[in-house]
């Protein structure tokens, strides 16, 4: 701390002390402060007066001394003179020194003022520097926030703005006298705009992500389908090694356990990558802004719009091109969209809930089913329908593995099944009609064992005679229509089984189909068509086709089931007038009549192949081929084709068939072409009649049926009797030949001869009809 300058109220004492100073240095030391004080206080005159007064006092002393001590006085005067001279000189020096000090004091004052000014400027500079530093901190924080926005680090940018507010802006604004107040206030007012910029930027990035996801959805679905197909192959190979695994389908717990080591990420792989970073950034940003609810609503709205974009319009025919490419693209888009939704739920459950995703899924399934079902109306290609079913099955398996409910799509497969059944019914109905219309209704001749085996393999024909006993060539009890229809029916069933077994996701339908017999399946197909149309003319054609195919049971069941359904509809919903009712009844009668006609026609064809040698040179050794075939035919048709008919219908058919066969056989020897009949010819016919009688005797209700053979048996007996006169004796004829026609008996007796010609050498099988050739 600087020492305080000394001041004097009276310079008299100071002057005395100065004059009496012991040395020159003390003299100056005491003189300078006094001069400085006099100069500072502007009392130079007072100091000079004190010095003059001191000098006068000393002169008075000197005079006094001079009067008393003259010599001493003179000495003193001389000394005083010197002192005066010294004083004058000293005074001059003092004045000079005073002027110098005054000049120095003024300079010092100027320097001090300059120093004071400099210190003020320095303080101002310091204050400004501090203010600028604080401002720079604020600006750097602002710039940092905008730099983070530029780098798309939106969450960090919001955190930076929050720190800026808490650490700089709010404290500064609270102090209204702060130098940065205006800057802080201006920046504070710009914070909402910055936050809006961040929100818009993050939504812009999210919109790009939405576009990317939409463009990659179909590829994602395609990859997911491929992954499912790979899983199918792996499961198939495992089932080949371990048959027990055949009991477990895709997506079953067992299959998932076995396949867990082959995990494949359909979202992130070499072919396709879906980056959810923009979604996470948007979520975190809106969370920081306190706008999660708003973001959730906007996100849901956008995804609904994207869902609408991938779904076709209800009027669009997705099969217009005749292929399944549009359907496959639709299913891939739906799958990709739904997979992304599931992935979003797992990664960001705060914006997508399972309920939201399931609602979107149900909406897409409903729209897809509606579009596919409408487009199916234009599909007439069964092969295309198989592809459609396979695509939907693949779609179902894929989406089931992602936890989606596939009940709706599973149920829709029933629609595909019924559509497929309708197409097959239409296709095979046309095939059956063509087969029937081009058939010649002639018995099928077989020349070799290989030909016979081929027919047996493709039909359900079972020969009563062991194969090793067959003699070729032979004639089968049906025309070529039967094996051709069997082939078509087998193809029909095989296609049904293929359609319903492989990847068909409704086991109830599969089991129901597999449990059906051949006639039941055909009945269902036809009945469905009948119920839909109820057209009497159409029904007549269908029933006629079934009858021609010898599906007599099916023909009757069709008519009976339609009548039952009609009665059920009437009782359930009140009286309903159906124009087809009378047609059903008429067609039922027509069906029975047609069955009689067809059976009799077969009998005619077989009897026409008899080729009896009425003048044979040797007696027969065995029953004729035609008779064996005839009895076998009757047995087969009753035990297979007509097995399901009502008992009374079957009895009528047997009764009519045996009566017709007897008349047909009886007409053989009565033919005008037969001129003579020797005993060997009669024996051959008798052997065949005996075989037929034995067959009839083994049938149910044989007593009644054998009556149809009475005339034939008595006619043969007449031809074998030695006394022909018995026929002309009424009493004997009534007893032994009462059923023989009175006109036919004499004709046959006239043709009988007891002469047996010598055997002629003829080529083997010379009389074998060309009709026995394989058709």
Q: Work out the angle at residue 473's Cα, subtended by the Cα atoms of residues 470 and 475, and round it to the nearest 5 degrees.
A: 80
More confident residue, 517 or 731: 731
Asked if 402 and 339 touch (Cβ cutoff 8 Å), the reply is yes
What percentage of the chain has pLDDT greater than the value 90? Answer: 5
Question: pLDDT per residue over 238-258, tens digit each?
Answer: 777 877 767 677 767 777 777
Phi, psi of 676 (to 5 degrees): -135, 150
Distance CA 695, CA 663 (A): 17
Distance CA 427, CA 382 (A): 9
pLDDT at 577: 42
More confident residue, 538 or 231: 231
Side-chain half-sphere of 357: how many Cα atoms within 13 Å?
Answer: 24
Q: Work out the angle at residue 275's Cα, subtended by the Cα atoms of residues 273 and 281, and round it to the nearest 5 degrees.
A: 175
User: Using 50, 70 and 90 to split pLDDT, how confident is the model at 332?
Assistant: very high
- Model confidence at 259: pLDDT above 90: no
Q: Which residues contact 661 (CB under 8 A, 6 or more apart)?
A: 603, 607, 630, 692
- Helix (H) or strand (E) run with residue 476 in it: strand 474-476
Say if residue 581 is preceded by a cis peptide, omega within 30 of 0.
Answer: no
Q: Using the 8-state DSSP alphabet, how is residue 475 labeled?
A: E
Q: Residue 230: helix, strand or coil by DSSP? A: helix
Give the distance from CA 488 to its chain's centroid: 35
- Model confidence at 592: pLDDT above 90: no
pTM: 0.51
pLDDT at 554: 56
Asked if 771 and 442 touch (Cβ cutoff 8 Å), the reply is yes
User: Using 50, 70 and 90 to split pLDDT, how confident is the model at 176?
Assistant: low
pLDDT at 574: 43
Q: CA–CA distance from 152 to each of 117, 123, 201 (Å)? A: 52, 43, 8
- Model confidence at 331: pLDDT above 90: yes
Helix then strand then coil, in percent of the chain rounded to 5, is 75, 0, 25
3-state SS, 51-100, equals: HHHHHHHHHHHHHHHHHHCHHHHHHHHHHHHHHHHHHHHHHHHHHHHHHH
Distance CA 580, CA 526 (A): 15
Question: pLDDT per residue over 758-773, tens digit each?
Answer: 444 333 323 323 332 3
User: Using 50, 70 and 90 to split pLDDT, how confident is the model at 293?
Assistant: confident
What percentage of the chain has pLDDT greater than the value 70? Answer: 71
The two structure tokens encoding residue 156: 């960090």
Distance CA 333, CA 339 (A): 10
Please, what's the b/e burial string for 85-96 (b: 16 or more CB within 10 A of its CB; e: otherwise)?
eebeebeeebee
pLDDT at 172: 62
pLDDT at 170: 59
- Model confidence at 622: pLDDT above 80: yes
User: Using 50, 70 and 90 to split pLDDT, how confident is the model at 167?
Assistant: low
Q: Residue 446: helix, strand or coil by DSSP? A: strand
More confident residue, 573 or 237: 237
Query: Any idea which residue has 């003259």 for tokens?
Result: 70
Q: Which residues contact 248 (CB under 8 A, 6 or more apart)?
A: 235, 254, 255
- In terms of residues, how long is the chain? 775
Q: Residue 676's CB: how many other CB atoms inside 10 A?
A: 13
Question: pLDDT per residue over 663-694, tens digit each?
Answer: 989 888 888 888 888 888 889 889 989 998 89
Asked if 542 and 557 touch (Cβ cutoff 8 Å), the reply is no
> What's the mean per-residue pLDDT of the chain?
75
User: Using 50, 70 and 90 to split pLDDT, how confident is the model at 338?
Assistant: very high
- Helix (H) or strand (E) run with residue 13 in it: helix 11-19
Segment 315-320 mean pLDDT: 86
The two structure tokens encoding residue 540: 């007549």
User: Using 50, 70 and 90 to split pLDDT, how confident is the model at 69?
Assistant: low
Q: Residue 641: helix, strand or coil by DSSP? A: helix
User: Using 50, 70 and 90 to split pLDDT, how confident is the model at 24?
Assistant: confident
Q: CA–CA distance from 671 to each of 624, 667, 766 (Å)? A: 19, 6, 21
Asked if 599 and 653 touch (Cβ cutoff 8 Å), the reply is yes
Q: Which residues contact 215 (CB under 8 A, 6 or more apart)?
A: none
Question: pLDDT per residue over 626-652, tens digit each?
Answer: 899 988 888 887 776 665 566 777 788
Question: pLDDT per residue over 419-466, tens digit each?
Answer: 888 888 788 778 877 887 787 767 788 888 898 888 888 887 777 778
Distance CA 292, CA 203 (A): 13
Segment 72-86 mean pLDDT: 69
Q: Using the 8-state DSSP alphabet, how is residue 262 labeled?
A: G
Highest mean pLDDT (candidates 265-269, 585-589, 680-684, 743-747) = 680-684
Q: Residue 41's CB: how many other CB atoms inside 10 A?
A: 12
More confident residue, 54 or 530: 54
- Model confidence at 53: pLDDT above 70: yes
- Model confidence at 220: pLDDT above 80: yes
* First CA to last CA distance, the chain: 143
The two structure tokens encoding residue 389: 């079913």
């Amino acid at each position: 701390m600087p020492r305080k300058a000394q001041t004097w109220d009276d310079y008299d004492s100071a002057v005395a002390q100065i004059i009496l100073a012991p040395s020159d240095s003390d003299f100056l030391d005491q003189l300078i402060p006094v001069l400085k004080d006099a100069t500072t206080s502007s009392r130079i005159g007072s100091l000079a007066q004190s010095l003059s007064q001191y000098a006068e006092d000393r002169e008075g002393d000197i005079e006094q001394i001079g009067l008393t001590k003259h010599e001493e006085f003179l000495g003193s005067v001389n000394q005083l003179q010197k002192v005066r001279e010294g004083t004058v000189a000293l005074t001059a020096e003092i004045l000079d020194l005073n002027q110098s000090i005054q000049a120095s004091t003024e300079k010092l004052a100027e320097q001090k003022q300059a120093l004071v000014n400099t210190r003020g400027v320095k303080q101002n500079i310091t204050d400004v520097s501090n203010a600028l530093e604080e401002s720079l901190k604020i600006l750097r924080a602002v710039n940092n926030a905008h730099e983070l926005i530029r780098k798309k680090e939106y969450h960090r940018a919001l955190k930076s703005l929050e720190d800026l507010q808490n650490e700089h802006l709010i404290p500064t604004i609270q102090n209204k006298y702060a130098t940065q107040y205006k800057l802080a206030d201006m920046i504070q007012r710009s914070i909402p705009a910055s936050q809006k910029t961040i929100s818009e930027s993050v939504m812009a990035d999210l919109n790009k992500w939405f576009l990317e996801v939409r463009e990659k959805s179909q590829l994602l679905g395609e990859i997911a389908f491929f992954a499912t197909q790979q899983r199918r192959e792996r499961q198939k190979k495992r089932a080949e090694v371990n048959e027990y695994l055949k009991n477990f389908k895709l997506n079953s717990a067992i299959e998932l356990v076995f396949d867990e080591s082959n995990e494949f990420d359909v979202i992130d792989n070499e072919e396709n990558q879906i980056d959810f970073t923009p979604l996470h950034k948007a979520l975190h940003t809106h969370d920081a802004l306190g706008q999660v609810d708003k973001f959730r609503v906007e996100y849901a709205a956008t995804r609904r719009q994207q869902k609408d974009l991938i779904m076709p319009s209800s009027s669009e025919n997705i099969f217009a091109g005749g292929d399944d490419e549009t359907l496959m693209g639709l299913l891939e888009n739906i799958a990709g969209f739904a997979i992304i939704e599931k992935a979003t739920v797992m990664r960001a459950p705060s914006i997508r809930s399972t309920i939201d995703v399931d609602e979107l899924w149900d909406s897409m399934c409903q729209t897809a089913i509606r579009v596919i079902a409408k487009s199916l109306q234009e599909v007439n290609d069964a092969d295309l329908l198989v592809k459609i079913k396979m695509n939907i099955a693949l779609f179902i398996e894929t989406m089931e593995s992602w936890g989606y409910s596939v009940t709706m799509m599973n149920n829709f497969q029933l629609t595909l099944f019924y559509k497929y059944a309708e197409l097959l019914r239409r296709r095979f109905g046309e095939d059956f009609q063509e087969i029937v219309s081009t058939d010649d209704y002639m018995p099928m001749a077989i020349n070799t064992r290989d030909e016979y085996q081929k027919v047996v393999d493709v039909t359900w024909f079972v020969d009563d005679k062991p194969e090793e006993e067959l003699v070729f060539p032979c004639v089968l009890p049906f025309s070529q229509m039967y094996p051709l229809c069997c082939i078509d029916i087998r193809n029909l069933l095989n296609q049904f089984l293929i359609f319903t077994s492989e990847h068909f996701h409704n086991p109830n339908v599969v089991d129901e189909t597999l449990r059906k017999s051949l006639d039941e399946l055909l009945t269902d197909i036809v009945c469905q068509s009948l119920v839909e149309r109820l057209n009497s003319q159409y029904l007549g054609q269908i029933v006629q086709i079934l009858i021609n195919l010898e599906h007599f049971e099916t023909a009757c069941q069709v008519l009976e089931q339609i009548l039952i359904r009609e009665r059920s509809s009437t009782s359930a919903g009140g009286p309903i007038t159906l124009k087809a009712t009378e047609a059903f009844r008429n067609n039922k009668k027509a069906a029975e009549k047609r069955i009689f006609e067809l059976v009799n026609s077969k009998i005619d064809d077989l009897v026409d192949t008899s080729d009896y040698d009425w003048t044979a040179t040797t007696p027969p050794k065995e029953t004729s081929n035609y008779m064996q075939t005839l009895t076998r035919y009757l047995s087969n048709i009753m035990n297979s084709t007509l097995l399901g008919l009502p008992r009374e219908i079957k009895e009528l058919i047997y009764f009519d068939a045996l009566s017709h066969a007897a008349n047909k056989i009886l007409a053989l020897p009565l033919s005008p072409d037969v001129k003579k009949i020797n005993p060997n010819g009669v024996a051959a016919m008798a052997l065949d009649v005996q075989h037929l009688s034995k067959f009839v005797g083994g049938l149910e209700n044989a007593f009644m049926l054998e009556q149809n053979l009475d005339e034939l048996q008595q006619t043969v007996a007449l031809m074998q009797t030695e006394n022909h006169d018995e026929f002309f004796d009424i009493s004997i004829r009534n007893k032994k030949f009462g059923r023989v026609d009175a006109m036919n008996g004499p004709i046959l007796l006239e043709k009988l001869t007891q002469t047996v010609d010598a055997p002629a050498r003829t080529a083997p099988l010379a009389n074998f009809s060309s009709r026995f050739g394989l058709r």
